[in-house]
Amino acid sequence: MSQADDDLSDFRLQSVLAIHRVIEGFLEGAILVDEHAAVQWISPSYMKYLRIARLEDVIGHPVELILPQSKMRAVVETGKAYPIDLMQYGEDRSLAVTRLPLSDSDGRVIGAFSFAFKDFITHLQPLIDRVTSLQRRLTQAEKALNAQRRPRYGFENIIGVSPPMIQIRRLARRAAKVSSSILILGETGTGKEMIAQAIHSASPRFDKPFVAINMSAIPEGLIEAELFGVAPGAYTGAGRDNRPGKFQLADKGTLFLDEIGDLPQPWQAKLLRVLQEREVEPLGSNKLVKVDVHIIAATSRDLAAMVEAGEFREDLYYRLNVLQIQIPPLRERKEDIELLAFNFMERIVHECQLEPFEIAPSALEVLTAYEWPGNVRQLANVIERACIRAEKGVLTAEDFIDILPRRGKTVPQPQESSGRRPLNALVASAEQRAVTDALQRSGGNKAAAAKILGISRTNLYAKMAKHGLA
């Protein structure tokens, strides 16, 4: 080899070393993974940045355990490079990184190499600062949104000592342990969403979103967008960004489909497919999006009767009705009224900063004898109105008689204290009146009367026999 060749070889070596020192000055560090995206090497500077004490602690582990936002697995799986990308590290830092696939002589991907630039690179720093600021704001917004989607109720809010409520709490706790679909049935105002929230709060998904949607409140033309989301430019006026639907918002959490009986038939088939395949197709998109949601549906309608009448898909009904929870109307569990009344009163006193109240026995008689067509929601409203209107520290029968709607009937009057009827007599009397009224309204049709009362036909026959109405 000539002197000229030696000089050229030395020049190349010195140049490579010089380039290496220059590049090293730009880099925060580098990492090497194999074809399975398992870590094989990390530069000392990167170990220090990532606070890794020993290299052997991470060798052979998936790269995501060290860098949760890493795309190295995508590089080794696709063989495509990411020449420049921004990767979030922690909640308030972003790194500019380059990711390159490594191939053998046959072109087979055998791993990937990535290096992160230092923060002080002048021409990248403004971009990094902007992305970091946007990421921080996005993280804060996500936290605020997730806080808004946290359930407000737990099992401690399900109040009642009646046998039906004890059974409901037992069923709901069991439902919280499984991922099967749950169907909650009950009249309007019985507390179906409260039960759903309690189930979510006690489930493994408690720290994920609880998203509720009322199917009866959505115009039919907006159902697809509300449930499945909208792709950019799907229609005139649609934004440039994806707008997630309720399924995407509830991902990893719980989706509460209230008043599912009001879902129009054309959309029942599409909902069934989503529940089966666990994927949605946003409006205007050809891409399927995987979702993982726990479905809880509720309705005040008789879904079984709707299935028989051809108004609700039978296959969707069985898909939703894996575990059923039936909430009885308040008129069928009147032993819970006193406890509920005191609970609502305490809440109103606290929220409105009022002087504490007592509820007189005569007032409880009026509340117990009333039929409560609006169920628990109506009781809460009546207690609130009475507390705000009352001028003394005791809520009396008169306070409620003035508030309770008469609907063409006389509001139950309290018994004189000297001859007060026991609670079970009041309940039996109220039940007899309700059965008699339902039979009159239905023209003697037992099935229709049972539907009015919200009970089974067998239960109706038992109550008729009990009160001598058979």
Q: Break the chain into its structural domains and give their ranges.
A: 3-142, 155-328, 331-466
Give the pLDDT score at 300. Answer: 93
Nearest to 169 by CA among 375, 343, 325: 325
Q: According to the model, what pLDDT value does residue 25 have? A: 59
Higher pLDDT, 47 or 211: 211
Residue 64 confidence (pLDDT): 83
Residue 120 has pLDDT above 50, yes or no: no
Look at the alpha carbons of 65, 66, 71, 75 in this order and tell me if their dihedral is positive or negative.
negative
Using pLDDT thresholds of 50, 70 and 90, give the confidence band for residue 122.
very low
Rounded Cα distance, 429 and 349, in Å: 32
Assess whether pLDDT exceeds 90 at residue 55: no
- Counting residues of the chain whose pLDDT is more than 70, the rounded percentage is 77
Shortest CA distance to 73 belongs to which of 113, 112, 110, 37?
37
Cβ proximity of 56 and 98 under 8 Å: no
The domain made up of 331-466 has a fold known as Helicase, Ruva Protein; domain 3 (1.10.8)
Return the number of other C-beta atoms located less than 10 Å from residue 221's C-beta.
Answer: 7
Q: Kindly report the CATH number that applies to the domain delimited by 155-328.
A: 3.40.50.300
pLDDT band per the 50, 70, 90 thresholds, residue 408: very low
456 pLDDT more than 50:
yes
CATH annotation of 3-142: 3.30.450.20
Nearest to 209 by CA among 245, 261, 262: 245
Q: Residue range 195-204: average pLDDT?
A: 93
Q: Is the pLDDT of residue 447 over 90?
A: no
State residue 379's pLDDT score. Answer: 94
pLDDT at 90: 60
Contact 164, 329 (CB under 8 A): no
pTM: 0.58
When pLDDT is averaged across residues 272-285 and rounded to a whole number, the result is 88
121 pLDDT above the threshold of 80: no
In sequence order, the β-bridge partners of residue 86 are 96
Average pLDDT over residues 349-361: 86
Between 79-83, 253-257, 380-384, 412-416, the lowest mean confidence (pLDDT) is in: 412-416
The pLDDT of residue 392 is 78
The rounded distance, in Å, linking the Cα atoms of 352 and 251 is: 37
